[in-house]
Amino acid sequence: MRAHMTVFALTLAGLAACAPLVHGLPPAAQDYQDYCAGCHGTGGEPGPIATELHLRPVSLADLTMMNDGNFPEARVMSKIVGHKEHGEMMGAEAGQMPPFEPMLEGPTVLYDSGDGVPTPTPLRLVRLMEYVKGMQK
């Protein structure tokens, strides 16, 4: 009986870890490609759109290095969540940041970005922030 429970638990854990692939990428990686990579690049060099922008976007893979070895989780999440309509964002001109509205749909989770206040946050946004965190050099 115990062996069956272990197999069942492992199967459930494996299924929970699986997310549907879109275009062959896990959802957070696809969201990064769709919303971020064009400007911020994929790990060092800016994306192809960056040269057309007035303000140069930073490489999101360098955030920990640029912050004395600490990933600025709260700041990253506030940038992702703190968008305005039509892609406006602090530090960017209108239209430079993509509109994240489609990422606001779906389930929410309680998320604490380090300030001790769990806040209902769309799961896709949390996964995107975690993806950026995993990109760090």
CA 8 to centroid of chain Cα atoms: 31
Q: Is the pLDDT of residue 15 over 80?
A: no
Q: In angstroms, what CA-CA distances link 20 with 15, 16, 24, 94, 124? A: 10, 11, 9, 33, 13
Q: Is the pLDDT of residue 78 over 70?
A: yes
Rg (the chain; Cα; Å): 17
Please give the share of the chain, as a percent, with pLDDT higher than 70. Answer: 72
Q: Is the pLDDT of residue 108 over 90?
A: yes
Give the pLDDT confidence of 24-48 residue by residue, as tens digits: 678 999 999 999 999 999 877 889 9
Q: Is the pLDDT of residue 10 over 90?
A: no
Q: In this predicted structure, which of 8-22, 24-38, 39-53, 67-81 has the lowest mean pLDDT? A: 8-22
Q: In this predicted structure, which of 5-19, 31-45, 64-78 has the lowest mean pLDDT? A: 5-19
* Overall pTM > 0.75: no
Measured between alpha carbons, how far apart are the two ends of the chain, in Å?
Answer: 45
Q: Is the pLDDT of residue 51 over 80?
A: yes
